[in-house]
A and B are shown apart, each in its own frame.
Chain A
């Protein structure tokens, strides 16, 4: 019997991380931004049926980029966990933080113990009743959780998109301005994304119970068409 070659743990982890990062970078990006009335989730997604953004619970949304079957499995697990918790305790007891922790545990476990890490980055967003306590939990392929305050960028080309949003995002943006900023950041300087290339959903703070709402292409188009206010 031949002895397996010794590979340093650092090298194993680095290889896995590279593998996951490559998989994620191949996919198209998505952004989630706080705006005056809640949280907007905007994904570049040419498909109208395979969703990247979806509802988890009354005030909680999920978004995933990377390998579809992997993040969709995570999405369904999240819906199940949230519905079970709400059934056993109360609807008020279901929160994004505990959900994000569970996701982080699971991704971390898979990253260190399985053959192949999950090639996904996910986001758990919760809209608060007031406009200062919204939560955006960005969870990476290795289980790292980042708690973001203003906006969150997932997927390939995240650094460039983040730097563009750093320029355009401000506190208390209205929905139309927020969507224009998101689309401009996703498009970059060399191309122009239109409503048909996008999947847009909101967590609407003012909704009575279920805050998650998808926006149709024609609604998105109308928001994007509004000419930006000429403040300069």
Chain B
């Protein structure tokens, strides 16, 4: 293990991406068009605010062109104790960005001795998306959403991004990926400002169901293999992932509602 030491005026500080760059370990963007390589793509992720925080959810499917390349990919992950990140886009760079983002939050916390503010975390992610722009221009775009509980303001907050690193805070819900139009519409119709945690989880499940129903790149609940979306809530108590048994029961209810209508 080599010890990275820097002169006082030339120190990368608490930035892990900057440290990687100094050590020559950062990812290199492709120099020609990579969009027809048929690399796996991750798809639909959503997040919405409820009374005590935010709910985030992501389906599990990754596609390569018209083929399903993974059925159980986890695009929504815990970023740190009070935030989560979900990513749609080219799966390789997306997973790398998630890993780097998680590491950056932890690295900052250890080097500085205190956590970043939620706004600071959102800004960090923005810079990472922007640094992926050369790869995005070659077809490997990555578009995350970020949500968390702001301990200083005592409220849940959400951000959506564009490929250039643009960062936009939303007050109701955010969605990203190929099924985002359908999922977003479902949430838009069902969302109220003081929605409860339980209702918000149901709404997220329903939104992914409708996205999977209309978008071939979004995976629905797979009862046969026992694969359900990743759903989590983030409140003042921190990140809490919803168990598969709970989700299975919710989807049984949704399915029976659908059946009763036909």
Q: B interface, how many residues as a size bin?
A: 10 to 19
Whole-angstrom CA separation of A150 from B19 in the bound complex: 36
- Chain A positions 49-105 with a Cβ under 8 Å from a chain B Cβ: 51, 54-56, 73, 76-88, 98-99, 101-103, 105
Option from A56, A83, A102, A210 in Cβ contact (under 8 Å) with B3: A102
Q: Is A106 an interface residue (CB 8 A)?
A: yes
Binary per-residue interface labels of chain B (71-98) against chain A in the complex, 1 for a CB within 8 Å, 0 otherwise: 0000000000000000000000000000
Name A209's closest neighbour in chain B (CB-CB). B106
Whether B111 contacts A79 by the Cβ 8 Å rule is: yes
| A-B pairs with beta carbons under 8 Å apart, 25 shown | A51-B113, A54-B110, A55-B110, A76-B111, A78-B3, A79-B107, A79-B111, A80-B19, A80-B107, A81-B1, A81-B3, A82-B1, A83-B19, A83-B106, A84-B4, A84-B23, A87-B103, A88-B25, A99-B1, A102-B2, A102-B3, A103-B3, A105-B3, A106-B3, A106-B5
Whole-angstrom CA separation of A102 from B107 in the bound complex: 19
Whether B1 contacts A54 by the Cβ 8 Å rule is: no
Whole-angstrom CA separation of A173 from B68 in the bound complex: 55
Whether B113 contacts A54 by the Cβ 8 Å rule is: yes
A residues bordering B, Cβ < 8 Å? Answer: 51, 54-56, 73, 76-88, 98-99, 101-103, 105-106, 210
B residues bordering A, Cβ < 8 Å? Answer: 1-5, 16, 19-20, 23, 25, 99-100, 103, 106-107, 110-111, 113
Most central of A80, A99, A101, A102 by chain B CB within 10 Å: A80
Whole-angstrom CA separation of A96 from B77 in the bound complex: 28
Whole-angstrom CA separation of A115 from B19 in the bound complex: 28
Tell me, rounded to whole Å, the shortest Cβ–Cβ distance linking A124 to chain B: 11
Whether A87 contacts B1 by the Cβ 8 Å rule is: no
Which residues does chain B contribute within 8 Å of A210, judged by CB atoms?
A: 106
Tell me, rounded to whole Å, the shortest Cβ–Cβ distance linking B106 to chain A: 8
Whole-angstrom CA separation of A82 from B106 in the bound complex: 12
Tell me, rounded to whole Å, the shortest Cβ–Cβ distance linking A77 to chain B: 5
Q: A51-B113, A79-B107, A79-B111 are in contact. Are A87 and B20 (CB under 8 A)?
A: yes
Whether A77 contacts B25 by the Cβ 8 Å rule is: no
Tell me, rounded to whole Å, the shortest Cβ–Cβ distance linking A153 to chain B: 24
Which residues does chain A contribute within 8 Å of B111, judged by CB atoms?
A: 76, 79-80
Which residues does chain A contribute within 8 Å of B100, judged by CB atoms?
A: 87
Which residues does chain B contribute within 8 Å of A99, judged by CB atoms?
A: 1
Which residues does chain B contribute within 8 Å of A73, judged by CB atoms?
A: 5
Whole-angstrom CA separation of A76 from B15 in the bound complex: 12
Q: A51-B113, A54-B110, A88-B25 are in contact. Are A77 and B5 (CB under 8 A)?
A: yes
Name A210's closest neighbour in chain B (CB-CB). B106
Which residues does chain A contribute within 8 Å of B5, judged by CB atoms?
A: 73, 77, 106
Whether B4 contacts A77 by the Cβ 8 Å rule is: yes
Which residues does chain A contribute within 8 Å of B103, judged by CB atoms?
A: 83, 86-87
Of all A-B residue pairs in the complex, the 4 with the closest CB atoms, nearest first, are A98-B1, A80-B4, A77-B3, A79-B110
Option from A54, A56, A81, A103 in Cβ contact (under 8 Å) with B4: A81
Tell me, rounded to whole Å, the shortest Cβ–Cβ distance linking A88 to chain B: 7
Tell me, rounded to whole Å, the shortest Cβ–Cβ distance linking B8 to chain A: 9
Which residues does chain A contribute within 8 Å of B110, judged by CB atoms?
A: 54-56, 79, 83
Whole-angstrom CA separation of A44 from B19 in the bound complex: 33
Tell me, rounded to whole Å, the shortest Cβ–Cβ distance linking A114 to chain B: 13
Which residues does chain A contribute within 8 Å of B99, judged by CB atoms?
A: 87
Name B100's closest neighbour in chain A (CB-CB). A87
Most central of B2, B19, B20, B23 by chain A CB within 10 Å: B2
Whether B16 contacts A83 by the Cβ 8 Å rule is: yes
Most central of B1, B16, B25, B106 by chain A CB within 10 Å: B1
